[in-house]
Amino acid sequence: MVHFLGPRVRVSADESSGLFTARGGAGTRVTTDALVDAFLPEPSLAESTNPLLRDLVTGGGTAVGRESAASPGTLEVDSRHRVIGPDGRAQPQLWAVGPWTSELPIGAFARPRTNAPCHRRNDALARDLLHAALRHGKTARANAANLSVESPGEPAAEPTPRTVRSLRLGVLGPGKIGSALTRAALRRGVEVAVAGRSPATALAARLPGARHVGPDVLASSCDVVAITVPLHVALALEPAAFQGAVVIDATNPWGEADAAAVAAARAELGDLDGRLSTSELLAARLPAAHVVKTLNHIGYHDVEDHGREDGDPQRRAIAVAADDQRAADAVGRLLQRIGFEPVQVGTLAEGRELEPGAGLFSGWSTRDELSRLRRELVRVA
């Protein structure tokens, strides 16, 4: 049976009985011994994974729009769908329309030839765009008439192509994040070897271009090995298989099995206060490896979709925490190759800020934004 509590739900926990009580805005009350927290975070354009919307309201200090105060998570527009700037004035030549704006949704699935409100809206917007384009064309022709024709100079020299060292990536655990990382790396020309429980034929069909190898040869045949198995599996790995390897710890503690494995690892190390990061626990399990914490604070879809070319000012930053500088540099080269900007945030101990619920775990950041957020966290601490 599913009972709906309605809007304005409030949940309280009774520590003595272990029970949760949920109260709906309409007076509904339910008491239970289990709670699934599936609340969505507050919508925010500044932390949106949509780069266009995010850039419009942040823009690296040159924002051209602002988030709607009345409808958080949407871009504020006026009645003519012009984007409202940070100063509250409408941008004269920038329009936005659709579900991610503050406009009132009207007839999204209206049929053609019905003169529905959404069609009238689109027609009016098209007229504004056409008039603006005609005005711009007249201005451009007038300006061109006042320009003198100069002799062309020498053609610019073709840029010298850079030689990029071949990288070899090993992926232990081709699940969601492991498969996404494999595909992203293959598209950028990185050699990838994959070790997993699936048969070689299944891996070849799912990840064409990757070599299927055993876990015992990943470290010896790859420059960097990404551990993308569940954390409790990672904490049970055989240390000898990662002798001297640069290891990416992309794990996060989720679920009871991970919690039990983390508790056992802390007890073994005498970490009764829980001060060690989970990557420090993994480093203790693999003492001869060089562990680097990264890629645990980005969604697996984003790994494939958000990479940008080197030099793009809006390239997404990925935090890197490590105790070994050479290992951090090696992982940084890999992240740059697949389209991201590595930002070193300190040691594995400081990598706690990359764990679920911590200050650097979520949200899209450029290099400057991530560095600034890191400095703010240090000041607070």
Q: Indicate the SS3 state at residue 82.
A: strand
- Give per-10-residue mean pLDDT for the chain (381 aa): 82 91 85 84 83 83 86 88 91 89 72 77 87 81 61 45 62 95 93 91 88 89 95 96 95 95 96 95 96 95 90 92 96 96 95 92 88 80 50
Q: Please, what is the end-to-end C-alpha distance for the chain in angstroms?
A: 46
* pLDDT value, residue 161: 35
Report DSSP letters for 240-254, one per residue: GGGTT-EEEE-----
Query: What's the pLDDT at 252?
Result: 95
Residue 185 CA to its chain's centroid (Å): 16
Q: Are the C-beta atoms of residues 28 and 7 closer than 8 Å to each other?
A: no
Q: What is the pLDDT of residue 165?
A: 45
Q: At what angle do helices 278-285 and 255-269 cross, to 10 degrees?
A: 70
User: What's the Rg (C-alpha) of the chain?
Assistant: 26
pLDDT number for residue 224: 96
Q: For residue 205, report the phi and psi dihedrals to the nearest 5 degrees.
A: -75, -35
The residue assigned the tokens 């958000």 is 306
pLDDT at 31: 92
Buried b / exposed e across 226-259, counting CB within 10 Å, b at 16+? bbbbbbbebbebeeebbeebbbbbbbbbeeeebe
Instruction: Please report the pLDDT score of residue 108 as a whole number.
Output: 58
- This prediction's pTM: 0.63
Pairing of strands 90-95, 82-84: antiparallel
Q: What is the pLDDT of residue 333?
A: 95
Structure confidence at residue 148 (pLDDT): 46
Give me the residue spans of the domains in the chain.
1-39, 45-95, 168-380
Nearest to 172 by CA among 129, 221, 213: 213
Residue closest to 226 by CA, chosen among 316, 305, 318: 318
Residue 315 contacts residue 341 (beta carbons within 8 Å):
yes
Taking the C-alpha atoms of residue 296 and residue 354, their distance in angstroms, rounded to an integer, is 7
Amino acid present at 306: H
Q: What is 168-380's CATH topology? A: Rossmann fold (3.40.50)
Could you give the count of Cα atoms lying within 13 Å of 14 in the half-sphere of its Cβ?
10
How far is residue 346's CA from residue 344's CA, in Å, rounded to a whole number?
6
